[in-house]
């Protein structure tokens, strides 16, 4: 079955740039979406269709995609950005099933 | 504003069924789909499936085929997810999320989650 691969953890100091990657064979053909999940809360969409930012999401969040890798970038990470981040996309094999990456724990300290 | 409000926590015995509801408001229900996602304790997000509120088309995760049914009631703007033959590893928080009407993309707004505990 189709898989998206993320690093388990990323750590940065406040004000630094955090980059979280997501790799998958179908990403050249399918959009990536990124979700932030803080402890005990529902996920929140932070990037859709590879690089678009929903209203209300700070400008420091950006996304890009090239080849089989999508990247979420947090420029000038803040302590409040500490959370789990998940990428999401769909299979291109014809069944169009959804799949989440395993998640990346971002630590900002 | 878009809101998805889910039903309350459930405790079920192994082998039983559970039906979780997700009531939508703040948008035209039939112009979107609903995806269901679950999260076991301490684990990541798992996509369960999708239903179009426009025409009832569904797409289920392969591992849940035969045990899960997703439906909608357009008269009340409510989506339902029923999971049968529950096992202990079905213990999780279950989320609904608004999605594209045509396919499994675009999960934008999420419900608050429903904890389902499967225990004898």
* pLDDT of res. B100: 87
Nearest residue of A to residue B99 by CA position?
Answer: A98
Structure tokens at B32: 């979107």
> DSSP string spanning B88-105?
GGG-EEEEEEEE-SSSS-
Structure tokens at B97: 């999320």
> How far away is chain B from the Cα of A38, in angstroms, using its nearest Cα?
12
Q: Is the pLDDT of residue A94 over 80?
A: no
User: Could you read off the pLDDT of A7-28 as tens digits, one per residue?
Assistant: 999 999 999 999 999 999 999 9
> How far away is chain A from the Cα of B14, in angstroms, using its nearest Cα?
25
Q: Which of A1, A42, A43 has the CB atom closest to B62's CB atom?
A: A1
User: Could you read off the pLDDT of A40-74 as tens digits, one per residue?
Assistant: 999 999 999 999 999 999 999 999 999 999 999 99
Spans of chain B below 50 pLDDT: none
Q: Do B108 and A102 touch (CB under 8 A)?
A: no
Q: Is the pLDDT of residue A96 over 90?
A: no
First to last CA, chain A: 36
* pLDDT of res. B105: 86
* Nearest to A50, CA basis, from A76, A79, A29, A19: A29
Q: Do B45 and A96 touch (CB under 8 A)?
A: no
Q: Does B95 contact chain A (CB < 8 Å)?
A: yes
> How far away is chain A from the Cα of B82, in angstroms, using its nearest Cα?
19
Q: Do A88 and B107 touch (CB under 8 A)?
A: yes
Strands (E), A1-109: 9-12, 18-23, 33-37, 44-47, 61-66, 69-74, 83-90, 98-100, 104-108
In the predicted model, what is the mean pLDDT of residues A88-105? 92
Q: Does B100 contact chain A (CB < 8 Å)?
A: no
Structure tokens at A41: 């809360």
Structure tokens at B8: 């309350």
């Amino acid at each position: 079955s189709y898989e998206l691969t993320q690093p388990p953890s990323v750590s940065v100091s406040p004000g630094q740039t955090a980059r979280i990657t997501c790799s998958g064979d179908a990403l050249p053909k399918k959009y990536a979406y990124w979700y932030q999940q803080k402890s005990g809360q529902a996920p929140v969409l932070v990037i859709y269709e590879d690089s678009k930012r929903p209203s209300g999401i700070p400008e420091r969040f950006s996304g890009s995609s090239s080849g089989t890798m999508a990247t979420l970038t947090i420029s000038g990470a803040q302590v409040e950005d500490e959370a789990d981040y998940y990428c999401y996309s769909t299979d291109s094999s014809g069944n169009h099933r959804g799949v989440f990456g395993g998640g990346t724990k971002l630590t900002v300290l | 504003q878009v809101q998805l409000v889910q039903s309350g926590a459930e405790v079920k015995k192994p082998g039983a069924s559970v039906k979780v509801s997700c009531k939508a408001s703040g948008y035209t229900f039939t112009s979107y789909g609903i995806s269901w996602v679950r999260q076991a304790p301490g684990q990541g997000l798992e996509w369960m499936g999708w239903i179009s509120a426009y025409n009832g088309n569904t797409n289920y995760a392969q591992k849940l085929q035969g045990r899960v049914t997703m439906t909608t009631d357009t008269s009340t703007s409510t989506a339902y997810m029923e999971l049968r033959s529950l096992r202990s590893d079905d213990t999780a928080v279950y989320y609904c999320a608004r999605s594209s009407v045509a396919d499994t993309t675009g999960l934008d707004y999420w419900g608050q989650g429903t904890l389902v505990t499967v225990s004898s």
